Structure 1
Amino acid sequence: MTSPLIHPVFEPVTGTYQYIIADPSTLSAVIIDPVLDFEPARNTISTTTADSLLGIVAQNNYKVTYLLETHAHADHLTASRYLQLKLQQSTNPKTGIGKRIVQVQQTFAEKYGIEQSELDNVFDFLWEDNQTFHIGELEAKVVHLPGHTPDHVGYLIGGNIFCGDSLFIPDVGSARCDFPGGDAAQLYRSVQTLFSLPPYYRIYTGHDYPSGDRKEPIPYTTVAEQQERNKHLKVGTTKEDFVNWRQERDSGLGEPRLLHQSLQVNIRGGRLPRSGMLVLPLKGVTEVGGVKL
C-alpha cells in the first residue's frame, strides 16, 4: 500500500488542523478543511492561511484535484471556494462533503433566512457513505462519523483517517454534540468505528488545543494510543457514562466565537452571501412589557 505524503498545517487562531495529502507517484493532492481568516472585531476576511496552503502546493508541484470538508464547521470559515477559484485555471479542483450537508443547510437556511438558490450546487460532490474516490493512485474512502454534526465524515487514505472533529488528541478528548442534529450516542458509535481500525493506523484530528505541560499542537495519534489514553472515550468507557457526561458538559459550554459567521459561509460552500451581509442574531432584551423593541 502506497503511503501518502501528508502536510499538517495548524491555524492557531481557531486551533484548526488543515491537511494537504498527496500521492507521491502522480503528485495529485487534496486539501482537507482549509481555513479562511476572519477578524470579527473589524468584520474582515483575509487569505493569509489559505495562501500558505497554496505555497506548499506550488513548492511541491502538487496538482490539487479535491477540496474536502469533514463537516459544516461552526468555528471557522472554509477557504474551499477561494482555493477553488485560485486553482481553477491549473487543476480545477472539485469540492466534496458528506451528503447529509443538505440536512444542515435546511436547518440553518431557516435560522438565517438564506434563500435555497444560494445553496444549490455549492458543492461538486455530496459523498455517499463508504464511497471511494482516487487521489492519483491512492484510494480514499468516505466514512460517516456523526455525533458532532449529522453530516460529519472522515477520509480514510492509506493507513490514516482524517476524522475532523470526531475525536481529538487524547488529552483533549472529544467534540461537543449540542449543535442541531448533534448526538452524543452517535458520537460514541462513531468513535467505536475509529477504534475498529488497525491499532497502528493514524487518526488525524481537525483541531488541537494544547494546554498544561504540552505547548505544541499535535496532528495525530494512533488508534491504539486513543484506545488507551483518550480522556473521554478510552476503551472501557460505557456509552451511558459518556453520553451522560457529554450532555452535562455541553450544557455549560458557550457558543463558538465565529459560530454565526462560519455557518452562514460554510453551508454556502465558502461563498459569501449575495447581499454581502451576514446575519447576527440579537441576544438579551428584545421585548419590554410585552412590546417588541
Structure 2
Amino acid sequence: MTLTTLKQRSLLGLKDLSKDEIVSLLDRAAHWEAQPVKVNPVLQGKFVANMFFENSTRTRFSFEVAEKRLGTEVLNFSAAVSSVQKGESIYDTVRTLESMGIDAGVIRLKPIGVLADLATRIKVPLINAGDGNNEHPTQALLDIYTMRKQFGELKGLTVAIIGDILHSRVARSNLWALQKLGVNVRFCAPPNMVATELDAAYISIEEALKADVIMMLRVQLERHENGMIKSAEEYREQYGLTVERAKRIAPHAIIMHPAPINRNVEIDDELVEHPQSRIFPQMENGVPVRMAVIERALG
C-alpha cells in the first residue's frame, strides 16, 4: 500500500480531514444503519486488531460489533493483560501484529504523539480510538451523526460543550470537525480546565443552556485528588446539567454525553434518559459510524 493510500485509509484524527471526507463517512454510516440485516460480510477474510493500551469497554465493544457486522476476523488485545506491562513497547506490539498479517489496527493509547509516529512506521491503516487528550475521531463522528439525524442541516447550529475542555480529546475532535461543517462551537469550563490554545469562545453555563446541542463531558473524578475539582457536589452545582437547569433548555435542543457518565455529577440521573437526551442513541450510532470507518480502512 502506498503512503498516500495508507493516509487516505487511516483515521488518525478529524483535524486534518476535509469537510467532504467527513460528510462521506456520515453518509456511509447512514447506509449501514439502513441495512435490514445485521451482518453484511463485505470484508470477509480481513483481519482487524483492536489494540487497547488504555482501558475502554464501550469503545472497544462498539468497534468489535462494527467489525463483526462487516464479516471481519477480530483480534482483541488489551494492555492490562499483556507483555506491554513487561516493558514491551507499543511500537513492538503493533509491529508484531502487523507481521502476523493484520489488515488494519484500531488503537487507543495514552501518550500523545505516539500514534502519529506509529502511522509513519506501520504499513497497515490505523484507526484512532482515542489518543491522550489529542483526538477521538470516531466519537466525534458519531456525535455529529447524532446531531445530523436530529437536525438535518448542521450549518448554523450552536453546540455548547461543557466540562473539562483542557483534558478532552472529544472536545477537540468535535471542535475541529464541527467548525468545518459551519457549526458554532462554544465551550463552557471551570477556569482551571480551559484549553487556551483552542479557537472557540467560552461562555457561562447559563449561556450554554441556550444552545441547540448541550454536550456534557465526563469529569475525571480523580482530578479531585490533585485539587482540580473541589468535590463532585461542587462540580455538579456549578457545571452539572441539573434537573433545574434542564427546564431552561429549548424544546428543540438535545442533550448529549460521550459516556461513560458520572450520574449526578455532570448530569442528573433522571436526565440521562430524558426525552431530549440522545445519550443512548449516540452509543447506538457508534456502530454504523465505525462500520463506515473500518470499511474505508479496508477499502
Asked if Structure 1 and Structure 2 have the same fold, meaning a TM-score greater than 0.5 normalized by the shorter chain, the answer is no
Bigger fraction of residues in helix? 2
Give the TM-score band, short-chain normalised.
0.3 to 0.5
